[in-house]
Amino acid sequence: MAQAVLNAKPKPAKAAPSGPWREGLRAFRRNKLAMLGLLIILFFVAVAFLAPSITHYDYKEQVLLDRLQAPSAAHWFGTDDLGRDLFTRIVYGTRISLWVGIVSVLGSMVAGTLLGILAGFYGRWADIVISRFFDILLSFPNILLAIAVVAVLGPSLQNALLAIAIVNVPVFGRLVRAKVLSLRTEEYVTAAKALGMKNARILFVHILPNSLGPIIVQATLSIAHAIIECAALGFLGMGAQPPEPEWGKILSDSRQFIQNAPWTVLFPGLSIMLTVLGFNLIGDGLRDVLDPRMKQ
């Protein structure tokens, strides 16, 4: 009996469930810079959601007696030229920048993906017309095209969001078109066609899921660009209008006080820099995980 117990082989431990997405998540967690970027973005998201609990000031409240005060216990980031609490305005400005960045990229991602799928899968006239449309949009610098769109529609935050979405459509469109061109000749797509599967089902069941990796990476990086473009339009007075506390608008209103009150420019500039850095670090981490060419 004792000998049988000694000869018994131990049962192998159950292997942890594995899969491409689970392995990608593990690889992302091991990327310290990507995790740093995620922490930065989670911090700003928490600030945006908890804005009313973080500060008790009203971002529109003007106290001219307190204008251009240096950072202190009463005003952590100081005050602007109208006596408004700068910390409060930056906290509420986080909502605007994240909202514009995420919503505009979602819009451009959906439109660009649909156009890219049509161009890459059907080819011929659809590819020619859509590709030339992308070429026309890409022939202009992004910020100049965004300014032109806002100039036609009128300066407002909503029109700035629409302009940013429009200028980013060809970025996703050309990316998806190239991916579809490489996937439509794969064996599983040919087999699906041979089985009589409809084109719409082939596109959204077989091709689109295999194109998600580059789309996700590009979307993350595009959010960073969208935040910069939103700040640029706000700086030029073509984005959020007073008294909305958009970061670019805060910089524009404070540029004449850069020598006497540098904190009015320092803190909104740091907010833009950190947010963009966070999304870029996440995008780089996702690229390392999802791009097969980056894997050893």
DSSP lists the bridge partners of residue 79 as 85
* Residues with Cβ within 8 Å of residue 70, at least 6 apart in sequence: 78, 261, 263
Half-sphere exposure for 82 (CA within 13 Å, toward CB):
14
Domains of the chain are 43-294 (1.10.3720.10)
Can you give the pLDDT at residue 205? 79
The residue-averaged pLDDT of 137-156 equals: 90
Strands (E), the chain: none
| Mean pLDDT over each residue of the chain, to the nearest integer | 86
Residue 221 has pLDDT above 50, yes or no: yes
Q: Burial of 75 by CB count in 10 Å (0-12 exposed, 13-18 middle, 19+ buried)?
A: buried
Q: Can you tell me the distance from the alpha carbon of 150 to that of 134, in angstroms, rounded to the nearest whole number?
A: 19
Can you give the pLDDT at residue 1? 46
Can you give the pLDDT at residue 11? 55
pLDDT of 150-206, one tens digit each?
Answer: 999 999 999 999 999 999 999 999 999 988 888 877 777 778 777 777 777 878 777
Q: Locate all alpha helices (DSSP H) within 123-156, ordered by sequence.
A: 124-138, 142-153
DSSP state of 137: H
pLDDT of 42-76, one tens digit each?
Answer: 999 999 999 999 988 888 888 888 888 899 888 89
* Predicted model pTM: 0.86
Can you give the pLDDT at residue 287? 86
